Structures are given as C-alpha cells and as structure tokens.
Amino acid sequence: MNDQFNNDNNHDKIDEILNQEIPSADSNAQKIAINSALSAFTKEHTVTSHQGSSESTRPIANEGALSSTKSIWRSLMKFLNSLNNNKAFAGVAVGVACLSVVSILPSTFSSQQNAIDVYNKSKSNSAIGQIADSDAKQLIVAGIENRVELESQITNLEEIVVTTHRQSDFIQDAPVAIELNKVEHPYARKTKKVQSMREPSASFDMGFSLSDQEISPQIYETEEYANAPINKIKLTSESPVSTFSIDVDTASYSLIRNQLNSGYLPPSDAVRVEEMINYFDYAYPLPTSESAPFKATTQVLDSPWNKDKKLVHIGIQGYDIDTSEKPDSNLVFLLDVSGSMGQANKLPLVKQSIGLLLSTLKADDKVSIVVYAGAAGVVLKPTKAQNKDEILAALNRLQAGGSTAGGAGIELAYQLAQKNFIEGGVNRIILATDGDFNVGQSSNDELKKLVERKRKNGVMLSVLGFGRGNYQDDMMQTLAQNGNGVAAYIDSLSEAKKVLVDEASSTLFTIAKDVKLQLEFNPEVVSEYRLVGYETRQLQREDFNNDKVDAGDIGSGHSVTAIYEIGLSGSESNTIAPLRYTTKQNDNSSPSGEIGFLKIRYKLPKESTSKLIETPIKMAKTDTSADTQFSIAVASFGQKLSGDKYNPELSYSDIAVLAKRHLGNDPYGHKAEFIQLVEMANLLNKQ
Amino acid sequence: MLNDITLINQCQNGNSKAFEELLNRYYDTIYRFAYRWCGDQHNAQDITQSACLKLAKSLSTFDKRSSFTSWLYRLVINCAKDFYKSPTQHNVREQYDPEAEQISADDHTRRLYAQQVLEHIDTLSPDLKDTLILIHGTGLSHQAAAIQLGIKESTVSWRIHEARKILKQTFSSSTLANDIEAGATL
C-alpha cells in the first residue's frame, strides 16, 4: 500500500485531485440548498436581529420563527413520502384496468433511462417484475412516451395480474383500498436515503410523529408558482395594441387566501391579479340575444390608486345556460390518491367536494372515477349520476397511499372519457391533486402536448388543486390552460361549494372557447396604458386573428374582468415622459372622444372558426356600479401583494375601505371574506 | 452587479435579497469544493446544502481579513468533515445502501488521501492558497483569476506552480501513507 503513494506516483495524484472533472450539481438540489439557507438566514437575522438596522424585507413565508416549524414539517413530509415508496405498489383494481407496473417508478426518477434502470433493478427484486416482463417494459415506455395505445396493454396486464396474484387483491368486490405490499422495495430504501440526506439539518428530528391536523400549513418552498413579470406601462405611440387571452381561473385567489389565513403574506409569484379579480361574481349586464354568448361592458373611471390616471374597465358577462338546456355530461374524475393526499384537507375534502358536485348533475349524466398513485386504475366504471349511493360508496373506499404516477392515470382517464364520449355534450376530466404529477417525463411540456392533443378530440380537462406543501401551481396552470378548463384551488368545503355547486355550470359548460381580447388605444387620447394582471396570458398582436392560437374559455354564467390603467395625452403626470423628437401625427381621422377600440374574438364550443365582436370605448361619464368598484378594490389588493410597483397611493386599509363601500350584493359572503383578507394583510404587513 | 464585498456587507446587515444573490453566486463554488472532497455528486450536494446553511449562520463572523473564497473554502471543508463524522450519515449509508456504493478499499484510501491534500491547501500561505482555490476550486482561468486578484497572469501561473510543488513535497513523505492506513481503519 505504501508504495502506491510514493514520489512520482504522488505527483500525478496531486494533479489528479486538483484537476478532477466535476459534473454539475442538480438544479433541484441547488434550489433546495439555497432556499433552506435563505430561511436559516432570515431566521438568524429576525430572531436575534443583531447588526443594528436590518433592511426591511417583506415578511414572506420564510421568515421568523416559522422556519423551524417549517423544517420539521418538511422533514416529516419527506419521511411520509419515503414511507409511501415502501408500499411497493398499490393494488387498485376494480373494473377494467390495473397498471400496477407503473408503481415501480419512484417519484424521484423522471428520465427514460432512469425508468428503465428502475425497471431492470426491480425486475429481479419485486414480484411485479416477474409477472409481465415484456408488458411491463412496454408500459413503462408507454407511460414515458405516451405513444403506445394503452388499451391493449391494459387488457394484457389485467389477465396477467389476476392470474399471478395470490389472494383476493384483485377480485371485483374487494375494497378499493391501497394495499400495503410487504415486499420491501429496493428503491424505496434508496429514495429514503437520498431524501433524508437532502435535509441534513433536520435528519435528527425524524423520531416524532404528528398527526396531520397538528401541522398547520407553514412555508412551502417546494411549491412552484406560474407567473411572469408584472406588465409594464406601454406608450400608445409605440405599441397601440394590447392583446391577451381571457382567464377565468381562480386558483391564485384561494391560494393567497390560504396563505394569508396561515399568517404570512404570499410570495409575489403566487399572485395573479386577474385570477383574484375573477374570483368574484360581478353582475355585469347579461347578453340580450342568444346569438352572442356573452356581452362586454366597458367603463372609464378614475383610478383610485393614482389620481392622475384613469381606468378602462371591461366586464364580460357570459350567457347563463338554462337548466333545461344543459347538455349531458360525461365526467371522469381523476383522483390523486398518493400518500401525500392523506391529510384532512386533501383526499377527504376531495370526496366531500365530489359529493357536492353530484347533487348538481342531471340524473343521466355519467360519472366515472380513475385513481392514480403507485398504480392507476378505474375504481368506478361510468355510472349514472342518479346512482349517487354507488358513486359515493366508491369514493368512500378510497384511501391515500403509494407514490404518484400521474402519467398513466391521465392516459387512462382520457381513454375512459373517449370511450363514453357524448357528442355535443360535456366531456371533461376533473383532476384533483395536491400537485405532484409524476408522468414519465414529468416536464410540463410533455404533459402540455398530451392535454392539447386530447382537447382537440373534444375532451376537456379541469384541475382542482388541494392541500399545500407540494402544490405545483405552474403544473396545474399548464394542465388547465391547455385542457380548456378551469384551475381552481380548493382549501375548504365552502370553496368546494363555490366552485362545484354555486358555479357548477360555469365550471362544466363552456359557452365560448378561445376568447381573445384586443384593445387598440387611440393615441390622441391615451398616451400610455398598462394592463392589470393577465401576465401569463399575453398574446402576440398577430395571434388575435389566428384561430390556431389557443386561448381561454368562458363557462356558462362566467364573468370576466379586465382593467387597464391609462394616462391621458397631455397629462403632465404621465409616467413616461414624451419624446422630444417624435413628430406629432395630425390626422383627424380617428373619431374624437374614443379612448380605444375593443375587439373580442371567440369560437362557439363546437366551431373552429372564430367570431368577432367590436365595440368602441368612449370617454362618456357613466355611473359605475358597486361591482365595478369592488373589482377595482380587488385589483389594487392584487397589485399591492404582487410588489406594489404601480400602486403607490393606496394602503391596505384604504383598499379595505374601498371594498367595504362597494360591497353590493354578497349572497355567499365572498366579498366580506375579501375584506377580512385585506385586513389580515394589513396586520401582517405591519409585523 | 455589486462586488462581493458590498454584497457581503449587505448580507451582514441582514439583507436577505443580498444573501440570496450571494448564494446564487457561490453555490457552484461551494459545490465544487465539496465535490473535490467527497468525489460523488449526491454527497457533494448534501455537503453543499449544509455548507449553505452554515454560511447563513456564520457569515456575520467573516471579518474580511482573508479573501472570501478562502474563508468559504475552510467552511466547506469543515462541513464536509462534519458530514462524514455525523453518525446519522453513517447509519443511513450502512442501513440503506449496502451494495450500491460499495467503496473498495482502494477507493477509500484514495479518497482519504485527496481529503488530506485538500485540507493541507488550507495551511498554505494566503497568497498561494487564494490563487490555488480560485483556479482549481472555483475553476477560473488563469486570466480571470489574475483580474480578480489584481495581479499579473504570470504571477498566477507561478503561484500555482509553487503551491503544487509544496503539496507534492509534503505528500511525498511516507508518514502520510501511514496516516492513511490508520485513517482507513477508523
């Protein structure tokens, strides 16, 4: 041994050490490390607050005493997740299909190569591997590439599973619980090792147990939000046209409410102002004739947050389908029953929520349920809504367990929806998840393509988000936006009631799709403008007339609001100073008094060419309704939470006052709750 | 872009934005230090994470007498040592990963040898140490290191040469090998 290190040999060794190739670090590991260090840092500086004057920072999630609870919470979550991986696979098999093999994909592995590795390793170790070698391999590949038609595979597998498994796991009437398999899974251990080591600071705290209820949602650095930088002020002379897609989602508001109620200001990324505004129901004028599915009402009013500016308020009200005209529905619930869904605010709430939705369905509407966890399977074959007990019984048998294999689940759900397709009816998958959606190549992009393809076949996808801690807001947005569906975040039974009962028809029935707005400003009147919100919904000017470009949908009875802040020409307080050398255009062709010209493009649900609605926006003095004013209060709140750049003059208490003054009709108390939230934000902001 | 010293000053005043920037700027450096120490990606990431945490807690003690990179180097080496000492890490490894990363005795010895070399770098004179760490730790080119240190490129090359020479001399003695043998049985 000694010789090995002597002299000459030694020289090379030093160089070898110094010049060793270093593979780059995993970006996820980097994110985790930076986030945990950041919260340790803020803790260090807020708890001890040494070093005199610390710079004021937003009291966001990762500050103060919360962070210690956070690390415990996170380590617990990891611990739970790793336990779930121990349940080598979940035996869900009532009805047609069981893709048990998919369970051997642990959630941490995403690339194809990894999947194959896992497959190869598990082949020798797990019972599953011995069952259906070739089918299993094919299925994994299918899960990854989404290419192979799954149907034939499913049939194959079903036979094999039934014949090789002992006991009654797969008998039709067996309880649809997730079986805890006793086979110790080699990768479960491996995963545990990796996961616990990711968290060195907390790895000693593993020995305790807390029930879910004792852990209040705290700080979730693992959540990912979809957002884009705040819209900038634009000069009318440079870009007179603003184009965007409507957005009827409400998820951002519920997420923010949840965060505020947990005692901290939401990170600015979580704020999508338009989703906050559109959370509320505004009684805009209804369309008068049925020829157009919606009506747009525009108003111009003073901006409450900047006395020198005006607001252009566009309210779009969708036509409300009469109950008797409601189309038949074919709904497939795709439920995440992975281990993380076990908490009270997740799977149990999902069950309750679906129970609520059932009451709004027609007797002949069909409901099916597909679950995914370690395995994906059908737990309820298409069943008429009138057999409510049967549906509820299937729901109640569900338990959370296993890791997440969303890719196979979503394929299966689409298949079922397609099989029971109702021509001219509502064909929709409703995905309920806490966020982790482990498809083969779990990138948002892959999934986006799949959902897009299926949408073209007429199956829509809506997303209901549940729970916190792992919520992948961006993934949920991707799915819903591309599936022509609504993304809602459900944190309480009352929210479930709002989305699934009070607004059931707008959630389910599309009255117009690919709705795009284009507003051309008159440079003689408007010198600058800024669209409030809709950052993630911006379109190119040329996309407006291109019917191939996808955009948001309007459901029955939906109202959508868009607000522009404008600076009038000649006003000295405009944010962008006029240029010295621009020649003033003196054509008097534009009709005076018009602020701009609004165009709305939409398609009727069954059509593929768009229709156009056009209306000029006039400067006329109108009485603004309480609803309009309330929507503006929500807009100011959203802007304030998202960074306050353009909202200089309104404090949280001003916003609360504004909202209170314009409470109007508030049958469900949502507006009153909004005021509570503003006041909560006010308090938190002072801390 | 703020320079490092300004950034560190802001961090020491409790500015979390600045600290975030600092972490982003130095994550790779820390990771590279750690990787040299342990020689595999997963452990390097774990060591890096604990080094980031340590940095959050102890940045206020950095007194700017040495260069930040060198100070950081020592911090990472200490974290790496703690990482291997931690009973939890050993338990985890033995319990969950009996065959996957079976380290041969040779690998183990080589690793210990590398660690001794890396530790020894910390004892070099400040100039040699700073330069060596910039070049081989953070992976800068001689030119970039010269700019950062405010010296000529030829000086950088000379210092690297010197530092290597010292390391090679130090580690040519047979006592080292004995140390390693002893270390291997720990």
Confidence at residue B61, expressed as pLDDT on a 0 to 100 scale: 85
Confidence at residue A490, expressed as pLDDT on a 0 to 100 scale: 86
With a cut of 50, say whether residue A236 has pLDDT above it.
yes
Least confident among A5-14, A298-307, A593-602, B105-114: A5-14
DSSP state of B135: I
- Residue A344 CA to residue A215 CA, distance in Å, equals 11
Count other C-beta atoms under 10 Å from residue A449's C-beta.
13
Q: Are A38 and B114 in contact (CB < 8 Å)?
A: no
* Residue A633 pLDDT level (bands cut at 50, 70, 90): very high
* Residue A47 pLDDT level (bands cut at 50, 70, 90): low
- Residue A158 CA to residue A588 CA, distance in Å, equals 74
Confidence at residue A277, expressed as pLDDT on a 0 to 100 scale: 92
Task: Work out the average pLDDT over A398-407.
Answer: 61
Distances (CA, A) of B155 to A111, A112, A464, B121, B132: 46, 48, 63, 18, 12
* Residue A37 pLDDT level (bands cut at 50, 70, 90): confident
Q: Are B41 and A20 in contact (CB < 8 Å)?
A: no
With a cut of 70, say whether residue A422 has pLDDT above it.
yes
Listed in order, strand segments (DSSP E) in A374-493 are 376-384, 426-433, 460-466, 487-490
* pLDDT tens digits, A135-165: 433 333 333 333 333 333 333 333 222 222 3
CA distance A449 to chain B (A): 32
**Closest-CA residue in chain B for A56?**
B15
With a cut of 70, say whether residue A614 has pLDDT above it.
yes
Contact in structure between A55 and B15 (CB atoms under 8 Å): yes
Confidence at residue A59, expressed as pLDDT on a 0 to 100 scale: 38
Q: Is A198 on the interface with B (CB under 8 A)?
A: yes
Cα–Cα nearest to A486, from A502, A468, A503: A503
* Residue A378 phi, psi (nearest 5): -90, 125
Q: Are B92 and A196 in contact (CB < 8 Å)?
A: yes
Q: Is B85 on the interface with A (CB under 8 A)?
A: no
With a cut of 70, say whether residue A592 has pLDDT above it.
no
| CB-side neighbour CA atoms (13 Å) of A473 | 27
Chain B residues in contact with A51 by the CB 8 A cut-off are 12-14, 60
CA distance B154 to chain A (A): 19
Q: Are B114 and A17 in contact (CB < 8 Å)?
A: yes
Least confident among A42-46, A103-107, A293-297, B104-108: A103-107
Confidence at residue A375, expressed as pLDDT on a 0 to 100 scale: 58
Least confident among A46-60, A265-279, A284-298, A627-641: A46-60
Confidence at residue A223, expressed as pLDDT on a 0 to 100 scale: 63
Chain A residues in contact with B92 by the CB 8 A cut-off are 193, 196-197, 203
Q: Is A494 on the interface with B (CB under 8 A)?
A: no
Confidence at residue B147, expressed as pLDDT on a 0 to 100 scale: 82
Cα–Cα nearest to A634, from A227, A217, A223, A315: A315
Selected residues 5-64 of chain B with any CB under 8 Å from a CB in chain A: 10-17, 19-20, 23-24, 27-28, 31-32, 35-36, 39, 41-46, 48-50, 52-53, 55-57, 59-60
Task: Work out the average pLDDT over A227-249.
Answer: 84
**Closest-CA residue in chain B for A37?**
B53
With a cut of 80, say whether residue B137 has pLDDT above it.
no
CA dihedral B41, B44, B45, B46 (to 10 degrees): 130
Task: Work out the average pLDDT over B26-46.
Answer: 87
Confidence at residue A50, expressed as pLDDT on a 0 to 100 scale: 41
Confidence at residue A400, expressed as pLDDT on a 0 to 100 scale: 63
**Closest-CA residue in chain A for B117?**
A14
Measure CB to CB from residue B48 to each of A33, A194, A196 and give the nearest one: A33
* Residue A376 pLDDT level (bands cut at 50, 70, 90): low
Selected residues 96-135 of chain B with any CB under 8 Å from a CB in chain A: 96-97, 100, 109-110, 113-114, 117-118, 132
Least confident among A175-184, A533-542, B110-119, B125-134: A175-184
Strand partners, A528: A235, A567
| pLDDT cut 90: percent of chain A above it | 7
CA distance A446 to chain B (A): 27
Strand partners, A376: A372
Q: What pTM value is reported for the model?
A: 0.51
| pLDDT cut 70: percent of chain A above it | 63
* pLDDT tens digits, A164-183: 233 333 333 333 333 333 33
Q: Are A37 and B118 in contact (CB < 8 Å)?
A: no
Chain A residues in contact with B14 by the CB 8 A cut-off are 45-46, 49, 51, 54-55
Of all residues in chain A, what percent are helix, strand and coil, respectively (each to 5)? 40, 20, 40
* Residue A4 pLDDT level (bands cut at 50, 70, 90): very low
Least confident among A39-53, A86-100, A506-520: A86-100
Distances (CA, A) of B35 to A424, B58, B137: 60, 22, 10
**DSSP H/E element including A366:** strand A366-372
CA A461 to chain centroid: 12
Least confident among A89-98, A262-271, A334-343: A89-98
CA distance A187 to chain B (A): 10
Q: Which of A62-71, A93-102, A423-432 has the highest mean pLDDT?
A: A423-432
Confidence at residue A172, expressed as pLDDT on a 0 to 100 scale: 35
* pLDDT tens digits, A190-226: 333 333 333 333 333 333 333 333 333 344 555 666 6
- B79 against A484, higher pLDDT: B79
Distances (CA, A) of A321 to A359, A510, A605: 18, 10, 13
Task: Work out the average pLDDT over A85-105.
Answer: 33
CA A594 to chain centroid: 38
Length of chain A: 687
Chain A residues in contact with B180 by the CB 8 A cut-off are 5
Chain A residues in contact with B20 by the CB 8 A cut-off are 34, 38
Size of interface A-B (CB pairs under 8 A): 163
Confidence at residue A342, expressed as pLDDT on a 0 to 100 scale: 73
Distances (CA, A) of A277 to A250, A254, A533, A638, B178: 8, 12, 9, 8, 72
Confidence at residue A353, expressed as pLDDT on a 0 to 100 scale: 85
Q: Is B151 on the interface with A (CB under 8 A)?
A: no
* Residue A127 pLDDT level (bands cut at 50, 70, 90): very low
Confidence at residue B175, expressed as pLDDT on a 0 to 100 scale: 46
Confidence at residue A237, expressed as pLDDT on a 0 to 100 scale: 83
- Residue B50 CA to residue A198 CA, distance in Å, equals 9
- Residue A677 CA to residue A262 CA, distance in Å, equals 11
* Residue A343 phi, psi (nearest 5): -65, 155
CA distance B109 to chain A (A): 9
Q: Is A83 on the interface with B (CB under 8 A)?
A: no
Average pLDDT along chain A: 69
| Pick among B11, B12, B53, B174 to test the A interface (most A CBs inside 10 A) | B53
Q: Is B173 on the interface with A (CB under 8 A)?
A: no
* Residue A242 pLDDT level (bands cut at 50, 70, 90): very high
Least confident among A37-41, A77-81, A278-282: A77-81
With a cut of 90, say whether residue A581 has pLDDT above it.
no
Chain B residues in contact with A22 by the CB 8 A cut-off are 31-32, 35-36, 139
Q: Quote the tokens at residue A402.
A: 């296993």
- Residue A402 CA to residue A99 CA, distance in Å, equals 13
- Residue A56 CA to residue A362 CA, distance in Å, equals 55
Measure CB to CB from residue B13 to each of A7, A54, A197 and give the nearest one: A54
Using DSSP's 3-state secondary structure scheme, residue A408 falls into helix
**DSSP H/E element including A374:** none
* Residue A9 pLDDT level (bands cut at 50, 70, 90): low
CA distance B148 to chain A (A): 20
| CB-side neighbour CA atoms (13 Å) of A629 | 18
* Residue A632 pLDDT level (bands cut at 50, 70, 90): very high
Task: Work out the average pLDDT over A504-523.
Answer: 85
- Residue A260 CA to residue B177 CA, distance in Å, equals 61
Chain A residues in contact with B50 by the CB 8 A cut-off are 200-201
* Residue B45 pLDDT level (bands cut at 50, 70, 90): confident
- B36 against A442, higher pLDDT: B36
Average pLDDT along chain B: 77
Q: Are A34 and B24 in contact (CB < 8 Å)?
A: yes
Identity of the residue numbered A268: S
Cα–Cα nearest to A674, from A643, A632, A645: A632
CA distance A639 to chain B (A): 21
**Closest-CA residue in chain A for B82?**
A200
Q: Is A196 on the interface with B (CB under 8 A)?
A: yes
DSSP state of A435: S
With a cut of 70, say whether residue A240 has pLDDT above it.
yes
Chain A residues in contact with B16 by the CB 8 A cut-off are 38, 41-42, 45, 57, 63
